[in-house]
Structure 1
Amino acid sequence: MTTAAAEAQRTVAVSEALVRSRAVELIAKGGDSRVLVLRAQPRWHGGDLTVDGHHVRVVEGISQLAILDAYAEQADDEYLVVLTDRPRADLNDTVLARAYRQQIEDPDEWASVPGLFGGAREVSRELRHLDWAATALLDHEPAGGWAPSSNLAVTAEHAIGGLLGHLLGLGRAELDGVVLLAELSNGSRAPWSGVDPELQAHLIAWAEQEYGAAAGFALRTTAAPGSLVRPLALGLAIDVLWPRSSTDLTEEQVAARTRLIERYVTGHTVTPLQAREIADATGAAVLRLSRENDPDGRLGVVLDQAEALLRDNLGWAAGAERSAILRPGFTARLRALGVALDAGVGVEEALAAVLHHRESTLAGQDLAPRMAVRLCRWLTTADGQVNGLGGDLQRQMDDGAWVDSALGVLWAGSDDPEVGAAYGRLIDRVRDRRHARDTSAAAHLSDSAVVRSLVGLLEDGPALGVEDILSAVVDPWKSQGGVLLVVLDGMSAAVAVDLASEVGRSGLVEWVPSTTRRRLAAAAALPSLTGVSRTSLFCGEITAGTSATEKAGLSTAFPGAKTFHKGELRASGGAQLSDNVAAAIADSAVPVVGVVINAIDDATHKNDTSNRPWAMSDLVPLRALLNAASIAGRTVVLTSDHGHVVERATEKLPAVIGGDARWRPAAAGTAQDGEVHVSGPRVAVNEGEAVLLWRDDARYGPARSGYHGGASLAELTVPVLVYQRSLASAAPEGWEPAPPQAPSWWNDPVVAAMPAPATLPKPAKKPRRKQAGHDDEAALFDLAPPTPSMAPEAQSLGMVDRILRSDVYADQMRLAGRAASSGLVEAVLRTLVARDGRAHQETVAAAAGIATSGITQGLAIVKRVLNVEGYDILSVDADGETLRLDLGLLQEQFGLSG
């Protein structure tokens, strides 16, 4: 073959992008030369071009004569690009004399690539190895050009990643397998479907190598002709078809794998390793869409498609029930939890599986399962006897309130019949135990001597009468900058539990009596009615009256005090507090500001509150009141006049004239089952005598949303919460910042009795003032402080004792400085060791006596002692709430191993 023939054979067809690119160079650098001769196949169907505002005519130079004719026709303002396959020997000097650089240019597409990326001068070796890339980059250059390169040599990642993003309609997004799975599942396949199949194949292979199996899978399945199944849906199916543990594969599962590969990944295999990579990327993509609130609404379609795919196309409907993302998987896990709740075995593991499912993170879907397990834990705790009604009330405040709060959430727990039935059986067991507590309280209350002894009783003790709140709580705190007394009419202890954590997050610090380190509980007046109990609270004595009586009572107790009720709380437009309320709180001459908020009591008459959690936003203007008190430096006493029971399938009893939904006159008949007869000075109706319902599942007369006036613990117990702003440090004698108040079963599984730190002081019980004629009755109301329990695991405790006696511990205490307390470290150690090294930080703080406001600082001190040489012996989980103690590392670092 001659040289000329060889040159002709090597010519290639050129793209418009290349011609345009070279025309740009000609216009910019050609000077007087307005002709570019390219060695290429003389075929052109693109017509004339406009490049940078200049007219460019492309000529098919099939011969020297054809080229010379084009020269002759060239206008003065026109540029020519000549495509010719004629060898140099066929073209005389006349042709080349007018050509750019007087030569025939080789159509080297790579030479044009650096100019497409601002800042680049060459292409990298890895990019040049992709022999298809230059043409693709030239052919598909976007209107605004490719993203400038930060390197002198354009990299394949930058160039091909940009090309892929452009072809997918994603612009300059950072790509990876997760992004591609998510973006290619948005329902629009047009951009990718319109790409030439050969280029698709090149890009899929490159993406698979660059971004991993998930990226190649997403592109390949989207490109498959006729496939309408979205990549994420296929990825969700793969997740259950190739589980992490493949020891329990079924025949249906294996058959479904084969069908998926044959129908959706034609011509390719999926290895177990690739399958897990795709599945993990799918999970990350779903999580990403969930966090972004799925702005395009694609996730719901994907989930439905994945379920249908497993059920209808792959013939393995059971697969969806194994998914940690698909709804059937959540239902299956909830049902497994229901079985565990019935059996009382494997409950914690079943809850962990539920919480591992995506659905549990959506709109409170985890609340009912969590509450169910908390109630199951509570049922396993011991419920010992209490001494008198005071013990009943305090136990309701410390423990029963949390039970009632959880019960409220669980009442409307699940839309699945199986799960709902399991929850119902648990609720029955819980209510049976709650009824036993109410029975105990009714028995104590039925003793008329006990009722009489409530007058003036327990002024120094943990339980009060509602009439004692002013003298026992408000008066001591009045000297600390004044008091804002907020009475949430009808607030039960369960509602107080809902509100307390939110109030604490608002910047206020809760305070409790030092003797018990628990919130105070007060006894409502009888019957537990607003007109009786609230009036008694404001007047400081058992009496009945109206809002006018309450105003007068508070002013008598604290001269200069001001009280505000419903209408007086309404603010003018644009304000949160009325001017009078705001002025009273800010006025240091006003010792006590009383405010009554009726939202809870009103709701029990009008709205279904059977499963309603209460928040500050429901109790306007509570948040504004707390803010104003904090600014003014006032102590906040948050309390109630009585609690309430919620309508939950109550039994209707005949209405009695002269009574109400939860009480009746004693003259109407002797007390029957579920009723208690009360008499004495604390009964403010019918000359000091009445019959009260103590069952929370019964009522007199028509149904309402809620009721009060009876003798259940939910009605009788009045919560008393005390708060100061976080910077306040002064307090009356006998008060201290509150440790976490949640019972241990609320946050952690129940374990055998844990040891109390030997170095922590036991709560001292103040001597009671002797009252004539009431010595025996007073004992019925005594509430003994918690008794430290002994350690169940002698070996574990022996380990703690050895650590505390070790030289390493002594050295660490010296290094930690004066801030370190051996009692604190010991308490944390013993609590965590008793729980196998894992517990919620509130559980540990409560056991160690750390105030809620000081948990972070207290645990930092303990870490300083235990984390020898920086090792994470004591650490916090990713949830920010769970403490972990590495028991093996603990023993090793403190010289106990071996």
Structure 2
Amino acid sequence: MVVSKQVRAVVVSPAMVQQRAADLVKSDARILLLRARPEWSHGDVSVGDATVRVLPGVSQLAVLDILDSLGEGEQAVVLTDRVAEDLGDAVLARAYRQEVELPDEWQAVPRLFPGATEVGLDLRRLDWAGTALLDHQPPGGWPRSPAPAVTARHAIGSLLSHVLGLGAATQLDDVLLLITLGQRIHGQSWRLVDERLRAHVIDWVEKEVGKPAALALMIAERNEHITPLAVGLVLDVLWPEDGSPPTESQVAARVRAEGYINGKAVPVDGAKGLARLAKAAVLRLEVDEKPELGIALQQAEALLDDLGWVDGAEQSSVLKPGYAARVRDLAACLTAGEGVEEGLARVHAHRDVAISHAPAMAVRLHRWLATEERGAVSLAADLQQQIDDGAWVDAAVGAVWHGSDDPAVAASYQDLLDRVRTRRGKRDESASSRLAEVNAGDDSKALGVERILEVVVDPWRRSSTGSLLVVMDGMSSAIAAGLAAEVGRMGLVEWVPSATQRRQAAVAALPSLTNVSRTSLFCGEVRLGGAEDEKRGLATAFPGAKLFHKNDLRSQGGAALPQDVVAAIQDPSVPVVGIVINAIDDATHKSDTSAWQWNLRSLDPLRALLEAAISTRRAVILTSDHGHVVERDTEAMSVRGAESRWRPVATGPVSPGEVLVSGRRVVAPDDQAILLWREDAHYGSRCAGYHGGASLAELTIPVLVFQAAALTQGAVGWEPAAPQVPLWWNDPVREAVAPSLKPAAKPTKAKKPKAPSMGDGLFDLEDLPAQPAPGGGLVERVLASPMYADQKQRAGRAALDDVTAGAVLRSLVERGGRAHHDTVAAAAGIPAADLGQVFAAVRRLFNVDGYGVVELDSDGVTVRLDERLLREQFELGDG
């Protein structure tokens, strides 16, 4: 008697049966014998239009019965655990390939991936992967294999993307995985995957992708309502990067956090890795503006509360409480006067740094207060000081004024503002006392508003194809400082008088009112008038010139500028095109401008005008008729007959905070008026802003000159401007650095002739303090070294001159080896337009053999000097 032999058989997957059925349909055989447990509950399978039956074959007789039961054209896959000898020739002769096939799923895998012919060894080592790839094959198939051998990274990566519901072709990285698991639909898809397969995938991810990604998968399978990103942000404060000793509450929270991961002790490297991953995910979500970020941030704060360490959120560089805590710390530093720069660095390290400019502006005011106050010797010096740094102070005050809702921070800011106001008040009082100098006709070198056409506009309309004169009524020097940078990014280069290398400043006519000062500007003499007087005045000064006021700037639908304005700018026979923009002056009478950010968008149609000037190569002069002071809790003074910031002499005697002015530049009864120099007071009704008084913010008229970058020649006596930011704006104040209006000496070259009218300019050169040369010992030794001479010879004609090279090096040495590139350029007198070219030359000169002695930091704005490497490369020793 023959005893039938039962062999060990496996449960075959539906995907395997489907694939073998497809091969059977292509043949003439009636059945395909597949070694497997004779168990099947999935019904028949379809292959195209054909249907293939799937039946168990427990014995030879059972298989013969299946053959007899098949109708014409029917085929079947038979699952049997019998060996070939048991089934006999009667069965085998009618079976596919006359054999019992072994269900080697690896044979099927290459056919699942287009372009593959075999299975890579790394994938074959995963004994669970073949079944998983067969069982989870997507309707459209797996993505094409990049190589003939299917790798584990390609196959399992595609499998993970598919089971998460992303689509098998999605290229997952660890950051995208973390983000995806936080989305409800994808997190749910992951939790629906078979538990054993999840364990296999997590194990593979930990080995091939990293422990942080594996932890993210563990968190997602364990928590339905808390995202892995939120947990990662919590781990960031539980295990901070700085390795600081944990508090008792922090340690307890670490233990409780285990329940949100896998119930086991969290590995430190994995926790820190997931924290870094979470912060990278935050950056990506911010760029894509995804709503998941806000949810995760809220969840992280709530989770820290659940863990019993709510204060932990204040340690975060991502969560909002962390930003608030850092700003409070900075405020305390400002009050104490210590650790301010470090406090600002901590604020800047938080993701919410862009929420408010107030912390950075507060530190800038702190730096300014730490600088030595120069005693001005003339009204011209007062005006220039306002342009050089007072304007920037005013801009910073605007940002700090509404700086914080936190009482402690607000109190610190208020104390800072009080100190700033005191110092600014002394400047205003001093400047107001000098107004008589101008009126008396003294040669103080201050440029009156009535001479802007002669001293500035005329030289520039002669040197180019005409000028575009834009008068922004009420524009203060603070607004001009911010606007200049934006204009410079349009392809316009700023020019300044060669004598000072600083922006030009003019003084308003008195009182500093529109119908006085603006009329005086266009008419070339101090007088009272209106729009028609201004048009006649400009046409008289420059025959053929045209002036457009507010109502003239209303364009037709779809046009940026009215056609007659465009035609005038394009017409070379029009020597000067004048434009009056009233947006600023109008706003000071109607809207709260205490925190207003003026820019090209809010000064419409300025951008369109500038673009027209660039295309026609007209020089651009941006100026004003007066500035203004902003309403910030000013004292209301009731004086009958007074107007905003000035009053007739007949209204009463001069009081503290006021100044009596008289003379040819005063347009008032008997050529006399009483003006407020105090910024914190006004007459009459409260407005958003005021002008007419004698504060430097009102008196100082900024005069900005630009021309297209393609034009390299300017008016006689003018040159391309270096960055005009004060040295304290972007960098800490160093004791070794004395502030100076005059940048470092320029390279010796043929001097441009000075404009004959500049004798009435802002400064005589002797008014400017000498430039100190701290750090000179090292700088001089570098410039005198043989290596420096060799580097210059290598650079050839492209070598930087010694004066500029030394100035750049000195500016970095003075500031501890790090400085904003605008600070370096301003200190070295490098035109802003040449900064990139000069910096490239500096690197060629000092980076011996490519070593990074002078480099630009990853932030793109900080220049860094490695002094140790400098000494080493130039063989200077340590002394």
Common fold by TM > 0.5:
yes
Q: Does 1:682 align with 2:665?
A: yes
Matched residue of 2:405: which SS?
coil
The alpha-carbon distance between structure 1 residues 19 and 586, as it changes in their structure 2 partners (threshold 3 A), is: same
Q: Does 1:488 align with 2:472?
A: yes
| Deviation at residue 785 of structure 1 after TM alignment | 4.7
Matched residue of 1:883: which SS?
strand
The answer to whether the 8 A contact 2:114-2:145 is kept is yes
5+ residue gaps in structure 1?
A: 772-777
| Rounded Cα–Cα distance in structure 2 between residues aligned with 1:876 and 1:779 | 38
Match of 1:329 among 322, 338, 351: 322
The answer to whether the 8 A contact 1:492-1:718 is kept is yes
Q: Which residue of 2 aligns with 1:451?
A: 439
Match of 2:287 among 275, 291, 294: 291
| Rounded Cα–Cα distance in structure 1 between residues aligned with 2:639 and 2:147 | 87
| Rounded Cα–Cα distance in structure 2 between residues aligned with 1:211 and 1:595 | 63
The answer to whether the 8 A contact 1:58-1:83 is kept is yes
Match of 2:373 among 375, 380, 383: 383
| Rounded Cα–Cα distance in structure 2 between residues aligned with 1:729 and 1:580 | 29
The answer to whether the 8 A contact 2:618-2:707 is kept is yes
Matched residue of 2:685: which SS?
coil
The answer to whether the 8 A contact 1:387-1:780 is kept is no
Q: Which residue of 2 aligns with 1:702?
A: 685
The answer to whether the 8 A contact 1:35-1:79 is kept is yes
Superposed CA offset, 1:583-602 (max 9, x none): 11111111111110100110
| Rounded Cα–Cα distance in structure 2 between residues aligned with 1:780 and 1:515 | 9
Q: Which residue of 1 aligns with 2:556?
A: 572
The answer to whether the 8 A contact 1:394-1:783 is kept is no
Q: Which residue of 2 aligns with 1:20?
A: 18
Moved over 6 A (4+): 761-771, 778-783
Q: Which residue of 2 aligns with 1:651?
A: 635
Match of 2:412 among 401, 407, 422: 422
| Rounded Cα–Cα distance in structure 1 between residues aligned with 2:42 and 2:777 | 89
Q: Does 1:73 align with 2:57?
A: no
The answer to whether the 8 A contact 1:570-1:577 is kept is yes
The answer to whether the 8 A contact 1:390-1:782 is kept is no
Q: Which residue of 2 aligns with 1:198?
A: 196
| Rounded Cα–Cα distance in structure 2 between residues aligned with 1:801 and 1:289 | 50
The alpha-carbon distance between structure 1 residues 358 and 892, as it changes in their structure 2 partners (threshold 3 A), is: same
| Rounded Cα–Cα distance in structure 1 between residues aligned with 2:91 and 2:149 | 36
Matched residue of 2:797: which SS?
coil
Q: Which residue of 2 aligns with 1:502?
A: 486
| Deviation at residue 897 of structure 1 after TM alignment | 1.7
| Deviation at residue 767 of structure 1 after TM alignment | 12
| Rounded Cα–Cα distance in structure 1 between residues aligned with 2:761 and 2:839 | 39
| Rounded Cα–Cα distance in structure 1 between residues aligned with 2:208 and 2:493 | 54
Q: Which residue of 2 aligns with 1:314?
A: 307
| Deviation at residue 758 of structure 1 after TM alignment | 6.2
Matched residue of 2:230: which SS?
helix
Superposed CA offset, 1:256-304 (max 9, x none): 111111x12334332222221111111111111111111xx11111111
Superposed CA offset, 1:743-785 (max 9, x none): 00001111134487567579999899999xxxxxx99986855
Superposed CA offset, 1:605-637 (max 9, x none): 111110111101111111111111111111111
The alpha-carbon distance between structure 1 residues 767 and 638, as it changes in their structure 2 partners (threshold 3 A), is: closer
Match of 2:857 among 867, 877, 884: 877
| Rounded Cα–Cα distance in structure 2 between residues aligned with 1:173 and 1:77 | 42
Q: Which residue of 2 aligns with 1:405?
A: 395
Q: Which residue of 1 aligns with 2:161?
A: 165
Paired letter, 2:674? V
Matched residue of 1:147: which SS?
coil
Q: Which residue of 2 aligns with 1:543?
A: 527
Aligned pairs for 1:188-227 within 5 A: 188=185, 189-224=187-222, 227=224
The answer to whether the 8 A contact 1:538-1:550 is kept is yes
Matched residue of 1:682: which SS?
coil
| Rounded Cα–Cα distance in structure 1 between residues aligned with 2:583 and 2:143 | 60
| Rounded Cα–Cα distance in structure 1 between residues aligned with 2:568 and 2:94 | 96
Q: Which residue of 2 aligns with 1:587?
A: 571
| Rounded Cα–Cα distance in structure 2 between residues aligned with 1:769 and 1:468 | 10
| Rounded Cα–Cα distance in structure 1 between residues aligned with 2:730 and 2:33 | 80
The answer to whether the 8 A contact 2:474-2:585 is kept is yes
Match of 1:799 among 756, 778, 792: 778
Matched residue of 2:468: which SS?
strand
| Rounded Cα–Cα distance in structure 1 between residues aligned with 2:755 and 2:131 | 95
| Rounded Cα–Cα distance in structure 2 between residues aligned with 1:385 and 1:765 | 31
Q: Does 1:187 align with 2:184?
A: yes
The answer to whether the 8 A contact 2:63-2:78 is kept is yes
Aligned pairs for 1:40-439 within 5 A: 40-171=36-167, 172-188=169-185, 189-224=187-222, 227-261=224-258, 263-294=259-290, 297-311=291-305, 313-360=306-353, 364-439=354-429
| Rounded Cα–Cα distance in structure 2 between residues aligned with 1:768 and 1:425 | 48
Paired letter, 1:553? G
| Rounded Cα–Cα distance in structure 1 between residues aligned with 2:128 and 2:525 | 93
| Rounded Cα–Cα distance in structure 1 between residues aligned with 2:700 and 2:823 | 25
Paired letter, 2:397? L
Q: Which residue of 2 aligns with 1:891?
A: 871
The alpha-carbon distance between structure 1 residues 17 and 97, as it changes in their structure 2 partners (threshold 3 A), is: same
Kindly report the root-mean-square deviation, in angstroms, between the aligned alpha carbons of the 2 structures. Answer: 2.1
| Rounded Cα–Cα distance in structure 2 between residues aligned with 1:197 and 1:141 | 18
| Deviation at residue 59 of structure 1 after TM alignment | 1.0
Q: Does 1:10 align with 2:8?
A: yes
Paired letter, 1:725? A
Paired letter, 1:35? I
| Rounded Cα–Cα distance in structure 1 between residues aligned with 2:439 and 2:677 | 15
Superposed CA offset, 1:117-173 (max 9, x none): 111111111111111111111110001000111211111111111111100112222
Aligned pairs for 1:838-853 within 5 A: 838-853=818-833
TM-score (norm 1): 0.94
Paired letter, 1:886? D
The percent identity for this pair of structures is 54
Superposed CA offset, 1:57-77 (max 9, x none): 111212323222222232333
Aligned pairs for 1:720-869 within 5 A: 720-754=703-737, 757=744, 784-792=766-774, 796-819=775-798, 820-869=800-849
Paired letter, 2:247? T
Matched residue of 1:469: which SS?
helix
Superposed CA offset, 1:310-369 (max 9, x none): 11x211112111111111111111011001111111111111111101111xxx325111
Matched residue of 1:652: which SS?
strand
The answer to whether the 8 A contact 1:227-1:264 is kept is no
The alpha-carbon distance between structure 1 residues 420 and 592, as it changes in their structure 2 partners (threshold 3 A), is: same
| Deviation at residue 4 of structure 1 after TM alignment | 5.1
Match of 1:563 among 506, 528, 547: 547
Matched residue of 1:413: which SS?
coil
Moved more, 190-199 or 535-544: 190-199
Paired letter, 1:324? S
Matched residue of 2:434: which SS?
helix
The alpha-carbon distance between structure 1 residues 220 and 185, as it changes in their structure 2 partners (threshold 3 A), is: same
| Rounded Cα–Cα distance in structure 1 between residues aligned with 2:126 and 2:754 | 87
Matched residue of 1:338: which SS?
helix
| Rounded Cα–Cα distance in structure 1 between residues aligned with 2:871 and 2:768 | 31
Paired letter, 1:307? E
Matched residue of 1:145: which SS?
coil
| Deviation at residue 251 of structure 1 after TM alignment | 1.1
Q: Which residue of 2 aligns with 1:774?
A: none
Q: Does 1:633 align with 2:629?
A: no
Moved more, 19-28 or 317-326: 19-28
Superposed CA offset, 1:347-399 (max 9, x none): 11111111101111xxx325111111111100000112111211111110111
Matched residue of 1:614: which SS?
coil
